[in-house]
Structures are given as structure tokens and as C-alpha cells.
Chain A
Amino acid sequence: MLTSSSVSEEVRVNLEKVVFGFFVLLAATLNFGFFLGDMRDADLHNPFELFAAVVVNLIALVLKFGDRTQIGAVHLATSLVASLQLVGAALMYGYAIYVSSAGMTESWTASVVSLSGGALLANIVSVVLLVVETVSFHRG
């Protein structure tokens, strides 16, 4: 009895949910990695990490396109917020490096990192939603 039910549980694993969970978590972890460190010190924030966070966030956003469920719509909203914040951070980063004559000053670095911090908050909400969805599914 027990084994048969666990087998059917395993069969029911949805590949779409796995992929989405992977990207949401990866977006949160990458963003966290970029965010970590002294806010004023540009050397502690790797631009490649920011790039990866932007790309993974965009993919997580597209993955929720066309989801009709309530929780899917909230996922879409949080991903959209995170993507907008991260793209904003990347634009500021690019402006500081290529356009601004002062270069990557402490205040610019702080702005970029704080924007990514806001995105991190949205990412954490996404992860919480994911966990809630998973737990409620098992209860049901």
C-alpha cells in the first residue's frame, strides 16, 4: 500500500515545476551572491554574477508566461519585479562604467547593490511561494 502510493506520487512529479523551481532558486542564490559584501566596495560585487542573475531571472519570468492559476500569476508578478530591479541595477552599472566620468564610485556601487537587494526580496518571496505551493500540494 505504502509503496504503491509513493510510486504514484513520484510519477506525478511535474517536470515543469522542477524546472521552474530550479530557476527560481538559482535566481535567488545568484542574486544573493551578488548582494553579499560591503555595499560601497565595487570589488566585492562581481558583474558576471549580476549578469547571470539577470539572465536567470528573465528565464524564470518567461517560464511563468501563460500560467492561469492564482499562484502562477503571483509568481509572474514577483519575477517581473525582480527582473525590473535587476535590469535597473545592470543599467546603472553600465552607466557608471561607460558614461559617468567619475566611474564606479562608492555611491554608484551602493545604488546598484541596493537595487539588487530589492530584487533579492522579490526572489525570496518567489521562493516562499514555491515552498508554500509545494507544502499545500502535499497536504491536499
Chain B
Amino acid sequence: MGNPLLTFWARHHRREEEERRARRARLLAAAASANRASETIFLILRRMRAPLIVLIAIFAVSVLGLTLIPGQDDEGRPWDMGFFDAIYVMSYTATTIGFGEIPYPFTYNQRMWVTISIYLTVVGWAYAIGSLLGLLQDRAFRSALALQRFTRKVARLAEPFVLIAGYGRAGELLGHSMDALGRRIVVLDRNDERIDGLELESYHGDVPGLAADARDPGHLGVAGLDHPCCEAVVALTDDDEANLAVVMTTALLRPDLPVIARATTRVMADRMRVFGSPSVVNPFDLFGDHVQLALRAPASYQLLTWLESGPGAALPRRASPPRGGRWVVCGYGRLGRELTGDLRAEGIDVTVIDPSPHDDADDVVVAGGYEPAVLAAVGLEEAVGFVAGTDNDITNLSLVETARRANPTLFVAARQNRPSSAPLFAAMELDALLVPTEEVAHEVYAQLSTPLLWRFLRAMPALGDDWAAALVDRLTDLCGQHLQALWKVRLTEREAPALTPWLAAGEARLGDLLRNPEDRDECLHAVPLLLLRGDDATLAPDPDFVLAPGDELLLAGWPAARRALEVTLIVDAVREYVVTGRRVPSSWLWRKLSGAPAASEETRPTAATPS
């Protein structure tokens, strides 16, 4: 083929063909379970065959009998009932309405036949209606209907959504945080009670939910894995293997999608990382890291947990775990192991108590029932920190109380396993509390909400404790004790058209932008957390920072500040006032009339700035 245009077209066509084929292969996955739905409906129809045929047959025989049996009219002349009359009489008789003998009183012959027909047809109707109602109550039928409704809802989603597989406590927390940000979610869980509960929860957006096993690729497909608007997949089931299956399915069918999965062991996390590059969240590992951070930099830890908790969260207390001294950790399970390792890495002396001996740790005190005598034997009086980290809430609570009695000055941390125990743990007023599900939800939220927040949280600990403390003070001064809105601004021609000439001038100070459009002497109630230019991130840029076109800003502050800033970004006149203090007429006519200030609009170098 000599013509380059033709070659290009052929290549383009081939690529399109390949993409289409790949897409079709992925759709097959979804088709598998969609077929199952129509299968159920076919089964229902098949089961309705017998009642319907019985009904038709009984009806036909009764009607035929009525038309054949000779009758007489009101003057005693012989009269044969026509088909219409017969069908009319049988219809109201069979449905137990009973209008009487129409159009003429029946003869005894007819009455005998009608008597027989009544019993036949009523039984026939009862059978047909009973079967129909029984099928409507049928579990398989209802779940097939639910699947169809769910499929339709997901297919109609026209905005980006996050697919959450596993709607436990963590999924619920994450769902509400995402919903508060105005993002859509689709939920998959094996437990139908959790899915039914979706309707009772107060979501702003409609949340499609399906009670199905996430291990089945077909279910993931129906839940929107192959939907073009799906922006991320989150695997939060309480079963590590199911999470692995979700990671696997996504990596194979939609390699372009980001995946975040919960794993409770390191082995499982490694198995997940084999498939593409999923982000694995291990709540115990995370808690260990957080304790490490809290030991080094309490203010950094405070800022981290505050920003991770999502919009509306109260400022957490700044806990300061004691560094010098010995810690006692009860329970050497998944949490105990991670935590002990992290504490020892910080150079802290740790004593571990566990009911069974472990191969990988030689200095574990083996003690069955965590009796007070054991706690006394490990020298709780001289210890500074205590962790109740077993997987039993009752044990943890009693351990905390016992330890407090032995040594009231202890720094006490505990693990809460069940959401129902929350009030008890709250009443204990612990220094640190680990709720694995919340830990996971916060971490996933930080990763999903905006990439800038995730970047900020990862870069922030490196800047030190004093820096973090200063930022927390700035945030609380401006926005109060509760975290307000957290949003992103992109200074591009598209999203900030009014800023283009100002940014191009090269003297655009951040501090000038963050002023109140009503009164520029007042600052906006917003704190810039991060500025991203290309790949370079600047944390908490100061007011003298010079902005450039294409910069991305992450801000925290009042929702009102967000609206005000949006106006500044879009309306030229407001930007002019905020930046320079000059009041510029915003309408064309007024600008013409007032003359001079319009010149700045005319010189706007839109063509000169490549965007």
C-alpha cells in the first residue's frame, strides 16, 4: 500500500478493531451473570405454564358447556346462550364477583352446569393467582429482579464513580466520606442485610448496591468494572482472599484502573502486589506506622489523622506517647507483631504477653488468661506504655482497666474490633484507639479523595513536628476545630479564565489571590495545603509564593471561601478588585461608558499564552 493515508487508515482501523475485541472479551465477564438473571425469568415463565394452561382449559370447557346447554328467555321460548354471554358469565363467576343470571334466569340444566363450573373455575383462578404470587415472593426471582435493576442503574451512571467491593464498616465510612465530597459510589457485598441497609442510610446521591460475591468477575462486571466512568476499584471485604480476587480481576480485565485493597497479612499484601500495582492497605501495619509517627512527631500525627478523617471531622487530641521507658503489648497477633516491630525500631524496650509461644519472637511472656498476677509479674508499675491488642473487645477492655489500676500514669492504647463496643471504649478515655476498619477507611479516603491530599499526607511528616504544629494552629485559627471543605483548584485557562493575564505577568502572588471579593483587606478563610507545579510539590506555600499557569492548589477552608474563590477565578472584574483593589465595571456597556479601566481587559494576551 503506497498511499500513506491509506496505510494510516488501515492501521488506525486495525487498532480500533483490536480494542473492540478486547472490550468484547471483557464484556463477556459481565454477560455471564446477566445471563443468570434472564435464566431466572425464563424459569419463572416456565413455571407459569401449568397454571395458565389449567386456567385456559377450565375456562374453555365451562364456556363451551354454557353455549351448548339449551336455555330459555323470560317468556319461556328456547334460547341458546352465545359465546359473548357465556364468557361474560363465566368471567364474573370465576373471579367470585357473581352478578347473577344474565341475560335471562337460567334453567335447571344451566344451573347444574354453572355449579360445576364455579368449583372448577374458582380452583383454577386460585391456582393461577397463587402460583403467580408465590413466584413473585420467590427468592431467586426477587434477586434476579434486583440484579436487573442494579445493572440498569449502573449502566445509566454518567459521572465518575468508585466501585466498592465489600460494604462492611470500612466501606460504609468510606462511602459516606466520598458522598460528602459529591462523588458517586457503587457497592457490592455478599451480605444482603448490608445492601438492604443502604436504602436507610442518608446518602446524597443514589447508591446502587448488589448483594453478590465480589469474587465472581461477572458480578464485578455488572457492578461497572467495564463501565467507562469507573475511576477506581476498592476491595474492602473482611476476607483477604476475596480482596485478592478483586485485585486480580481488575488487573486482568481493566489494567488501567487504580485498585486499593485491604490485606491483613504481609503475605497477602505481597500476593496482591504481583498483579499490577495495587495500593494495599494493611490496618495493623498502618497503626504501627502511625504509632511510630506519633512517637516522633505528635503534631504531624495529629494533622494526618485530622485530614484523613474527611469533611466535618473534629480536631483529634494531640497524644504524646512516652518515648523513654518500657512498653507492654498484650496479644502477639497481626497487630501485636507489627506494633512490636515498629516500637523496637524506634529503640523502645517492649515486653510482649501472649497465650501461646511464637517462633519468630523469643522474648514473649506466655500467659493464658492475662490475670492481674501476670501483669504485675511483667512489671507494669515501671512501664510507661500499655497496648491491649487482642482480637477480643471484652479482653481488651478488662486489660485496660487492670493496667490502669496497676499504674494510673500509663499511656494506654487499645484495639476495638466491633463497632458495637465503641461506646465502651469511648468511656474508657484511652490515649490511643485502633479501630482497624476506620483506619482502612481513612487511608483509602486519603488516597481517593484527591491525589493532592495523598501527596500532601505522604510528604508532610518529612517537614517535622514544629512545621505541622504551626499548620494545625493556622488551620484552627482560620477554620475552627472542625475540618471544613477540602478542595482542589487548577489554575488553567479552562478552570480559571479570569486569572490568565495576571498569571502570565509573572507577579501573581498567592496571598493576593486568597482575599475576600467583598472586602480585599480581609483574607479568605482558606489555607493552601499544597501547590503542585508539574511534578514539584510545595507544601503549605506562603503568601509570597508566585503562581504560574497550570498550577494545582489544594485548599482547606470554609465552603463559603470555596465559592468566593471560584468567583475570583472566573469573573474578570472580581479578580481585578481582589488583586489590585480597583473596582472595574463588569458589564460591556458600563466599561465603554467609563472608558479607561477597560484598557486592561483589551490587553489581555489570550493568544500569547499557550495553554
Contacts and interface: CB of A to CB of B under 8 A. Distances in A.
Interface string B64-82: 1001000000000000001
19 contacts: A48-B67, A51-B60, A51-B83, A55-B56, A58-B56, A59-B53, A59-B57, A62-B49, A62-B53, A66-B43, A66-B44, A66-B47, A66-B48, A67-B42, A93-B83, A94-B82, A97-B82, A97-B84, A98-B84
A51 B63 contact: yes
B83 A94 contact: yes
B49 A63 contact: yes
Contacts of B46: 65-67
Interface in A56-81: 58-59, 62-63, 65-68
A67 B38 CA distance: 11
A47 interface: yes
Contacts of A59: 53, 56-57
Q: Chain A CB within 10 Å — which of B48, B52, B67 has the most? A: B52
Contacts of B252: none
B60 A65 contact: no
B517 to A, nearest CB: 65
A62 B52 contact: yes
B181 interface: no
A98 B43 CA distance: 41
B560 interface: no
B45 interface: yes
B82 A66 contact: no
What range describes how many residues of A lie at the interface?
10 to 19
Contacts of B83: 47, 51, 90, 93-94
Nearest to B47: A66
Interface string A35-60: 00000000000011001100100110
B84 A94 contact: yes
Contact of A68 (B42, B47, B48, B84): B42
A45 to B, nearest CB: 13
Interface residues of B, number: 20
B303 to A, nearest CB: 60
Interface string A94-124: 1001100000000000000000000000000
B61 to A, nearest CB: 9
Given A48-B67, A51-B64, A59-B57, A65 B82 contact: no
Contacts of B47: 66
Given A58-B56, A59-B56, A59-B57, A66 B64 contact: no
Contacts of A68: 39, 42
Most buried by A among B39, B43, B45, B48: B45
A63 B53 CA distance: 8
A20 to B, nearest CB: 11
A112 to B, nearest CB: 13
A47 B64 CA distance: 11
Given A98-B82, A98-B84, A66 B56 contact: no
Nearest to B87: A94
Nearest to A47: B83
Given A59-B57, A94-B83, 8 more contacts: A51-B63, A51-B67, A62-B49, A63-B49, A65-B48, A65-B49, A93-B83, A98-B84
Closest 3 pairs (CB-CB, A-B): A66-B46, A66-B45, A55-B60
A54 B39 CA distance: 29
A93 B44 CA distance: 35
A49 B163 CA distance: 60
Contacts of B43: 66
Contacts of A90: 83
A108 B49 CA distance: 35
Most chain B CB atoms below 10 A, which of A47, A66, A67: A66
Nearest to A98: B84
Contacts of A63: 49, 53
A139 to B, nearest CB: 27
A52 B67 CA distance: 13
A77 to B, nearest CB: 14
Contacts of B82: 94, 97-98
A51 B60 CA distance: 8
Contact of A66 (B42, B53, B67): B42
Interface in B7-63: 39, 42-49, 52-53, 56-57, 60, 63
B180 to A, nearest CB: 46
A65 B56 CA distance: 14
Given A48-B67, A51-B63, A55-B60, A66 B84 contact: no
Nearest to A90: B83
Nearest to A68: B42
A76 to B, nearest CB: 10
A63 B46 CA distance: 8
B83 to A, nearest CB: 6
Pick from B42, B47, B49, B82 the residue with the most CB of A within 10 Å.
B49
Contacts of A97: 82, 84
Contacts of A67: 42, 46
Nearest to A62: B52
Nearest to A95: B84
Nearest to A55: B60
Nearest to B45: A66
B84 A65 contact: no
A55 B54 CA distance: 12
Contacts of A62: 48-49, 52-53, 56
A51 B84 CA distance: 11
Contacts of A98: 82, 84
Contacts of B45: 65-66
A48 B67 CA distance: 9
A65 B52 contact: yes
A10 to B, nearest CB: 25
Interface string A15-35: 000000000000000000000
A66 B47 CA distance: 8
A93 B56 CA distance: 20
A59 B55 CA distance: 10
